[in-house]
Amino acid sequence: MRPIVVRPDAWPRAEGQAVKRPGRAGKNPAKAARSQVEPKPVDELSPAEAKKEHEFLAGEIERHDKLYYQEDQPEISDADYDALRLRSEALEQRFPGLISEKSPSLRVGAPPAAKFAKVRHAVRMLSLGNVFSEEETREFVARVRRFLKLGAGAPLDFTAELKIDGLSVSLRYERGKLAVAATRGDGSEGEDVTANVRTIADIPQELSGRHVPDVFEVRGEVYMAHADFAALNRRQAQSGAKTFANPRNAAAGSLRQLDPAITAARPLRFFSWGWGEASALPAQTNHGVLDAIAGWGFPVPPVTLCKSEDEMAAAYRAIELNRASLAFDIDGVVYKVDRLDLQERLGFVSRTPRWATAHKFSPEKATAILRGIEIQVGRTGAMTPVAKLEPVTVGGVVVQNATLHNEDEIARKDIRIGDTVIVQRAGDVIPQILGVILEKRAANSAPFAFPTVCPVCGSHAVREMNEKTGKLDAVRRCTGGLICAAQAVERLRHFVSRRAFDIEGLGEKHIQAFFDEGRIRAPADIFTLQARDGGSLPKLAEKEGWGPQSASNLFAAIETRRAIALERFIFALGIRHVGETTAKLLAKTFGSLQEFRRVMAEAGAFDRLNEIDGIGDEVAQSIVDFFEEPHNREVLAALERELTVEPYKLDVVPSQLAGATVVFTGKLERLTRDEAKSQAERLGAKVAGSVSKNTLYVVAGPGAGSKLKKAEELGVKILSEDDWFDLVSAA
DNA sequence: ACCCCTCGAGTTCT
DNA sequence: CTCGAGGGGT
């Protein structure tokens, strides 16, 4: 056999691409450097030589993968193995003709990147609403019928499908070939896991069969079967690696490997349940398209077509009964309106489709001893009780904490320290306490006394009176405000959080530590951190756990955030009642920070805010209060000295109706109001309740009154419902 | 006066 | 993910 040519240092490696393959024998790079022969530079190879070497390398890589992953008997060190891969890739880069389906870089992946690239979904990946009973299923069907204006007698088919418990991915096929695979992420943007997905046998590299659309995104679930999961955990345990809590975590952990070779060695499978962008659809029904997807070579779980609520309930019960005999985990049943034209009419409510819902199985429950109740103080002073539990496994995960929401919740359920409580994971994620097993309560237990002072700063904690309803708020808040360290730290954490300033390397731990030592006390301090470094406090680079490199990385990360979009900036301020959406609304309304501040300094600030659609009395008052507080003004001024806040940029929606405001009035015959609204919003228009000079169209049906009159007065264009239909279908 | 939806603010664990 | 509350429509 030809000797392996290795010398890692001789070949270029991009920064951050260090290949991590934990557990491989012989980690010491010095050892690898001993046996070496200088390889011929790639540029000096003839195509024939390159081809030969490339083939040889591919074989070697495959052999070592097998030794390492399947037989756990590696022959070469990590560094040597990496060198093989890098050499192979260098060859491919110089001679792209060498790249084939079989080439190692595609089959088991390009060099691991420092992290996954982001992929924007052409069609958003949504989450589903939930129902937990037959009754709620009937309500769901009734809602759909109401929305579509279908009487109880009109036919309406639903499909019932297994809800596989794995992780969702979107597989984009262009001209029939797998082009990109992405995780769901936040629904709009996921991570590029193409290289990993190529290693999953259930997923074809190419769609087979006729009538393959030019572009088609197959969506479905990557999962791990029970038997494969058990075997994997056995192997993990034998090799001393950590085992996985459940098949879902194992699947997620396996897919999200930076090194696709690891994914390749994991027994991942795939089921398709839907699709995203499609240049053409092979059918007009959900079950028809799923059949076509199966025909292209994908596993598709069985679909039951249901003509009534009774049939849906029967399908659910049948699946529930069979659950234990399945080779994989499911966590419920998904119902979808079968006809695609109806799906389109139904549209979406925020992030969930109106035409589908998940009927979840009741989650696994467990009992645990409540050791104590901790009070956490949020950035608004909200005091949230958290149950500290004796660790217990629920749904394959060890749970130690569970939120108790607020003091009324504790009183309602009469939860006492020392009690045995019933725990479940809501939606199989967030632990919650259902109630107490009273028989197990100790005789000397006492109701929990919710503190009336802040556990951190000692200030009074009060429940405010809601002036409108005359009721007490559910939350008790610390009144310490500026003097409360907990609130200050939480505000800073909010400021640097992902949706606000998103400063890399400045996580919650660092914020707490920097606050404690006085390095950062107010937001603007973040941006003077470097200038003050080595002043009254020791240099950051000399601080424990830090070094020159990590310190300079942090300073660099901070620098990149000196320019920030207005909406992010407003959100970061942490004004009560102003979250991401309202921050964006304010940014859109005022355009620039200067203008926003100018208006807020005027006497009519409250009214200017209040007249914005979506901002009522409470939110307007909260914003006004924020700007009246001298400390906040100082914080703002200090930030403005350090930062460039960029004016708001309009999002571009390519549609005639983009940015327009329309008003519907009178009776609509063909549409429900919701339907009309979602149509308008899909085209980038806003639906308002009242007519003003900013209104572009008023769509008037029979019985229209004052709004129609006002439209005539203002000269706003008036459309019939039919006109509106024409406009929508033209767009 | 009530209902529905959306938003905000809090939460867990990997 | 859940709860509570705000906003807006019926």
Whether the predicted pLDDT of A1 surpasses 60 = no
3 state SS of A288: helix
Q: Answer whether residue A458 shows pLDDT above 60.
A: yes
> Closest nt to A678 (CA→C1')?
B5
Q: Across residues A552-576, what is the average pLDDT?
A: 88
Per mean pLDDT, which of A67-71, A467-471, A635-639, A656-660 is the most reliable? A635-639
Give mean pLDDT, residues A366-372.
89
Residue range A32-38: mean pLDDT, rounded: 35
Asked whether A699 and A667 are in contact (CB, 8 A), the reply is no
Strand partners, A664: A699
Question: Which region among A115-124, A173-182, A490-499, A721-730 has the lowest average model confidence (pLDDT)?
Answer: A721-730
Catalytic position from the list A27, A102, A118, A163 = A163
CB proximity A601–strand C (7 Å threshold): no
Rounded CA separation A427/A361 (Å)? 9
Highest mean pLDDT among A71-75, A120-124, A148-152, A576-580: A576-580
Distance CA A389, CA A366 (A): 12
Strand C–CB A409 distance below 7 A: yes
**Alpha helices, DSSP H, located in A347-483:** 407-413
The answer to whether residue A417 scores a pLDDT higher than 60 is yes
SS3 of chain A: helix, strand, coil, percent, to 5: 40, 20, 40
DSSP letters along A358-392, please? EEEPPPPEEEEEEEEEEEEE-TT-EEEEEEEEEEE
Q: What is the percentage of chain A residues whose pLDDT exceeds 70? A: 77
Nucleotides of C under 7 A from a protein CB: 1-10
Amino acid A75: pLDDT = 57
- The pTM (predicted TM-score) of the whole model is 0.68
Rounded to whole angstroms, how far apart are CA atoms A346 and A148? 7
Average pLDDT over residues A587-605: 88
Question: In the structure, what pLDDT confidence band is assigned to residue A456 with cuts at 50, 70 and 90?
Answer: confident
pLDDT at A219 over 60: yes
Q: What is the rounded CA–CA span in Å between residue A649 and residue A651?
A: 6
Q: Which of A83-87, A145-149, A701-705, A707-711 has the highest mean pLDDT?
A: A145-149
CA–CA separation, A665 vs A708, rounded Å? Answer: 7
Q: How far: A349 CA to B6 C1' (Å)? A: 10
Specify whether A163 is catalytic.
Answer: yes
Residue A517 one-letter amino acid: E
For A242-283, the pLDDT digits (tens) are 888 888 888 988 998 888 888 888 999 999 999 999 999 999
Residues 6+ apart with CB under 8 A from A372: A388, A417
A419 by DSSP, 3-state: which? coil
Residues with CB under 7 A from strand B: A 143, 244-245, 249, 253, 349-350, 376, 378-382, 384, 386, 397-403, 429-431, 490, 574, 576-583, 614, 674
A55 CA to C3 C1' distance (Å):
60
Q: Is the pLDDT of residue A547 over 50?
A: yes
Query: In the prediction, which pLDDT does A174 show?
Result: 95
pLDDT value for A338: 94
- Cα separation, A313 vs A319, in Å, equals 10
Whether A351 sits with its Cβ under 7 A from any strand C atom: the answer reads no
Neighbours of A215 (CB within 10 A): 16
* pLDDT for A609: 87
Give the pLDDT confidence score for residue A27 in this predicted structure.
31
Q: What is the pLDDT of residue A366?
A: 86
Tell me the average pLDDT of chain A: 79
Q: Which residues pair with A70 in a beta bridge?
A: none
pLDDT of A331 = 85
Report CA(A483)–C1'(C8) in Å, whole number.
Answer: 37
Which helix or strand (DSSP H or E) is residue A590 part of?
Answer: helix A580-590
Note the strand B nucleotides within 7 A of protein beta carbons.
5-14
**pLDDT band at residue A113 under the 50/70/90 scheme:** very low
The answer on pLDDT for A151 being more than 90 is no
Residue A211 CA distance to nucleotide B13 C1' (Å): 44
Name the residue with higher pLDDT: A468 or A478: A478
